[in-house]
Amino acid sequence: MEGITMRYGLLKSGLDAHTLGLSHLSQLLNSCGIASIIADAKICDAVDEIEVPDKYALLRKWLCDNRITHLGFSYRLDPSQAVRTFLRLMERLSQDDDLSRETELRHFYFAGLPESCRLIRDEFQDRIPTFEGDETPIETLRRLGVAEKLIPKTMRENSAYDDIRMQFGKELISSELPASLKVPLPYAYPAFGSSRDRLVSRLEAAREKRRLPLLRVHVGPYDPDRAEALAQFSDWLKRLSKGRFLDIVSVGSSQLSQSHFGEDWANLQNGGGVPFNSEFELRAIREDASPMLVRAYSGTKNIARMAEILEKNLNMAWHALSFWWFNRIDGRGPLSVRQGLKEHVEAISAIARHNKPFEPNIPHHFAFRGSDDVSYVVSAYVAAKTARSLGIRHLILQNMLNTPRSTWGLRDLAKSRVMLKLLRSLESSRFRVIYQPRAGLDFFSPDLEKAKRQLAAVTALMQDVEPENPESPQIIHVVSFSEARFLADPAVIDESLRITRASLAEYPGFRRRYNLTDFINGREVHQQTEELWQDALHMIRDMERNIPDLTTPEGLYRIFHAGYFPVPFLWEGRDEFPHAVSWSTGLKDGGVHVLTADGGKMKMRQRLERIHAALEHPPE
């Protein structure tokens, strides 16, 4: 490749909604100073009809216009379909003699499920490198053919903390401790397990018995037969309840339950999840889950009404809403962003009237679409401030670590500490923040033994955010180790909970033995924390100065429209939010930053100047 500038094209099937892998790969390449171009929806759709001349012409033009030298293709659905689609793509490209003369496209890569990768390796041997998703950043870059000298030195050096935590995970999983844990005794406070039970009461009881954090999982089987799915979920809830390791169960609601609750589902396709469609079915879920606390995601329309229904029938442990998301721009609901914000504010007011906690399910949705770390922490602050203004007294702060998965552990410590400090600045006698970290959505390896070690390692990371506070975190959203392979059933969930509890018990001693306290509070973490804190404060003060109605639906809309929160990987709604999608972001020093034209980190002052120009043209 001497004399040729490497340019990586990243492509997927239009049938596959998974975009995190492409975003992650793009950020890794950009951190090495290598250009990467993610194909838009039209190009991805064209791959599925590549035999059609006009469709292939679209793909060909994209390859030539962007001078692609390396092409990566991702398909994380059915393995047999993945192989067929990739073979058609490779065959069509190989038939185009003119393309090989007009471009320097010579290198191809495939990313998919483990079985898909095995089939591709069988077909192409070592000519097509494959990626299953559990590779470390450095492993990924080397497999992509990136020269060692281009991999940032800080990336190589700062992996030590992550390697040490994985060593902890290896030692824990090889021991018998998780399996040997005793089943905890039930709580004894008066409302325990009843329709009057509350999250705050459970937290107080756990604190008194030194059993913090509470453990929560998101669970739900999938069966195309609605009755069978509900019956299986009933069985799963009863099994989890008897296990007593789980405190809070989040119902894995089906898309139709969120979008068409109480309606006729005939001729509507269900995308998976628990397909409840009546108040009777909700009450049955609550009864089956007792004495666990229960919650479910809200609706994607008539949001306040759905919140009332869930509250009435599930006695919600807490409610979660996503403000700018779960609408047309992410394909999860029928509302516009403006309509969604209005309905979310109405729903939060209803939640406050019931004196129930609220979770802003927000920061990681920005991260999924390329937002930087400042946006991650500030979006949580804005949501919390809005909730407080609407009367919410307890806010559940969910913090998705490893997002993107290439984020360094030390950077996650900085992000977490800044976010906690920001939100706790809002606390008073009438507003309290309850911290709930979780592993990243695409963090776990398809190799189940490795995934178990990762679960222990990420639990250790959670304890390092506030190592001097024995009551932090108060809740952990446990993501089961099978996440990358298959849906977790009660047996897998139970094992995941045991690994989490064992990690919580064993890691403080491991940390002392390896003298990690100075490391996790060292100069590197302190510097990153202070820089992120100052940038976040600067942005918040600018918002409050320039958007006086900040915590209203219109103010929240203006924040997004003006580009305070960059979303360069947004697929739908790009015309509506040109200022939000026009930024360039990338991975640098283990975190995601807004970048200048030459690839450097953009100063907050420059960023705000650009936003001020956008504010001069308010949305219609």
pLDDT 10s digits, 421-431: 999 999 999 99
Question: What is the 3-class SS of 294-345, one letter each residue?
Answer: EEECCCCCCHHHHHHHHHHHHCCCCEEECCCCCCHHHCCCCCCHHHHHHHHH
What is residue 85's three-state secondary structure? helix
Judged against a pLDDT cut of 90, whether residue 138 lies above it is answered with no
Mean pLDDT of 507-531: 93
Give the chain's length. Answer: 620
Judged against a pLDDT cut of 70, whether residue 180 lies above it is answered with yes
Q: Are 293 and 199 in contact (CB under 8 A)?
A: yes
Question: Which one has a higher pLDDT value, 518 or 345?
Answer: 345
Q: Domain locations in the chain?
A: 7-151
For residue 32, which amino acid is it? Answer: C
Listed in sequence order, the residues at least 6 apart from 405 whose beta carbon sits closer than 8 Å to its beta carbon are 20, 24, 440, 442, 443
pLDDT 10s digits, 287-324: 999 999 999 999 999 999 999 999 999 999 999 999 99
pLDDT of residue 17: 66
The per-type count for the chain, helices as H runs and strands as E runs, is 26, 15
pLDDT of residue 321: 97
Judged against a pLDDT cut of 90, whether residue 513 lies above it is answered with yes
What is the phi/psi pair of residue 238, to 5°? Answer: -65, -40
Range from 549-558, 568-577, 606-615 carrying the lowest mean pLDDT? 568-577
Range from 165-179, 263-277, 453-467, 533-547 carrying the lowest mean pLDDT? 263-277
Q: Could you give the strand order of the β-sheet that contains 358-360, starting from the edge strand earlier in sequence? A: 293-296, 248-251, 214-219, 475-477, 432-438, 394-400, 358-360, 319-321
Judged against a pLDDT cut of 80, whether residue 129 lies above it is answered with yes
pLDDT 10s digits, 29-74: 988 889 999 999 899 999 999 999 999 999 999 999 999 999 999 9
pTM value is 0.84
pLDDT of residue 1: 43
pLDDT of residue 194: 94
Q: Are 557 and 337 in contact (CB under 8 A)?
A: yes
**What's the distance, Cα to Cα, between the start and end of the chain in Å?**
50
pLDDT of residue 564: 98
Q: Is the bond leading into 473 cis (omega within 30 degrees of zero)? A: yes
The CATH-assigned architecture of domain 7-151 is 3-Layer(aba) Sandwich (3.40)
Sign of the CA dihedral running 360, 249, 471, 450? negative
Distances in Å between the Cα of 254 and the Cα atoms of 222, 300, 303, 398 are 9, 12, 16, 21
